[in-house]
Chains A and B, each alone.
Chain A
Amino acid sequence: MSEQVDLTTIPISPDGDRGENESSTAAADIDSKLVTVFHDKDNFNVKHPLQNKWTLWFTKPSSGKGDNWNDLLKEVITFNSVEEFWGIYNNIAPVSELALKSDYHLFKEGVRPEWEDQQNKHGGKWSYSFKEKRNIDINDIWLHTMLAAIGETLEEDNDGEVMGVVVNVRKAFFRVGVWTRTIGKSIPNRGDGDVAGGKGRPAEKGKQILENIGKRFKEILKLPATEYVEFSGHTDAAHSGSTRAKAKFTV
C-alpha cells in the first residue's frame, strides 16, 4: 500500500448521518448483486434452495396385459430449488388430465415410492380418498400438498418422518397421501437417539408427531371436521392384500 487513501472518503463520524448512509449503501451494493427471478426472470443469478432434494415419479397406467410395476413406475426428474419445481410443475400434465390408474409421487431423493424401499418398509401413510371427483379441484389440492412437502411445513425440523407425497387417479376416486418413515414405533438399526424410528423417541411422542402431520395434511386438503384422514402401516396394507387396510390412526 504505497498510495495514500484520501481521508475524506473514509466515514469517521459515528454519530453523523453520513456514516450511516455509507454503510447502508454498502449493504445495498451487496444485495444488488443477488438477482432473483423476481428481479429479472430471464437473467437471475441466485435461486431458492430446498431443504431436501426431491424426485418426481410417475406411474403409467397399466395396459392390462400383466405389466410389471417396475416398468410402469418412472423416475421423471430430481430438483433442489423452488425455481426448478415451478419449471417442472408448469410443464407437466395436471392431475386432472392424467389417465385413470396414473400416479404422481414426489419423494425425497434416494427413496423409491414403494413400500418395499428400505426407508419405507417400516412406515406408513396418511391418506384420503376424494370420491366426488367432479366436486373438487384436485390440481389445487395436489399442488398444495407438494408445496407443503418441499416447503417443509408438514413436519417440524427434527421429526424426520415425511418421505414423500402421492396422488392416485382412479376410476372412483382421487387419493392423496403422505408417506412416513415409521408407524410411531422404533425401527431396527435406527439407533438410540430421538429420531424417527430411534429407540430414544417414546412411542407416545412418535404417535403425536404422526398425528400432527395428519392434522396439517387435513388442513391442506381443506376437509370439513366431519371427514377423516386415515393412517395405515404399509405392511398392514400388504398383508391384508388390499390398500383398504384398517386405519391405525385417524384425525
Chain B
Amino acid sequence: KAVEPPQPSAALQSLKTARLLRPEQLLSLSYPAGINGMSSPNPALNAAVSKKGTSFKYDPNFLLQFKTVFTEQPSMEFHQQVKTLIGDNDGGR
C-alpha cells in the first residue's frame, strides 16, 4: 500500500528556517513572562555579548529553560540515524 511520506513537524520546520539572532537582538529581546532573557539574571556573564558583538556566553540556567520547550528531533532522519550509529542501547550486541 502507498505510504504517505512523513512530514516534518511545525517545530522542525521552524528550526530549519529560523534565523540566528544577532547579539544586539539577543540582548534587547523581550521574552514571555516567566522566561529569564539575556539581560537578566546574570548581566555579568552576558556583558561579553555586547562588548565584542561576536561572543555568545550563556548561563546554564538560561539554557535549561529550553529543555522542555524544544523537544523535537533535529531532523526527520535523526532517530533512524542514531539507531544505525549507536544501536539499540541494549547493552551491546
A residues in contact (CB < 8 Å) with B: 31, 34, 36-39, 41-51, 58, 60-61, 63, 74, 76-77, 79-93, 97-101, 144, 147-148, 150-153, 157
Contacts and interface: CB of A to CB of B under 8 A. Distances in A.
A147 B55 contact: no
A42 to B, nearest CB: 4
B10 A58 contact: no
B82 A51 contact: no
Among B9, B72, B91, residue most surrounded by chain A Cβ atoms (within 10 Å): B72
A153 B59 CA distance: 7
B2 interface: no
Contacts of B30: 31
B20 A81 contact: yes
A100 B92 CA distance: 8
Given A34-B21, A147-B64, A91 B58 contact: no
A47 B20 CA distance: 5
Nearest to B61: A147
A47 B74 contact: no
A99 B91 contact: yes
Interface of B: 9-12, 14-15, 17-21, 25-26, 28-32, 35, 45, 48, 52, 54-60, 62-67, 69-75, 78-79, 81-82, 85-87, 89-93
Given A91-B79, A157-B55, A61 B73 contact: no
B85 A76 contact: yes
A48 B21 contact: yes
A92 to B, nearest CB: 6
Given A60-B85, A99-B91, 13 more contacts: A31-B29, A38-B69, A44-B14, A47-B15, A47-B19, A48-B66, A76-B85, A82-B58, A85-B63, A86-B69, A87-B72, A91-B78, A147-B63
A238 to B, nearest CB: 26
Given A74-B86, A157-B48, A48 B91 contact: no
A221 to B, nearest CB: 13
B19 A93 contact: no
Given A38-B65, A58-B86, A151-B58, A63 B15 contact: no
B32 to A, nearest CB: 5
Contacts of A47: 15, 18-21
Contact of B85 (A39, A58, A80, A88): A58
Contacts of B59: 151, 153
Contacts of A79: 74
Nearest to A89: B67
Given A38-B69, A81-B20, A151-B58, A60 B87 contact: yes
Contact of B14 (A43, A50, A99, A148): A43
Contacts of A41: 11, 69-70
Contacts of A42: 9-11, 14
Contact of B25 (A46, A84, A85): A46
A57 to B, nearest CB: 10
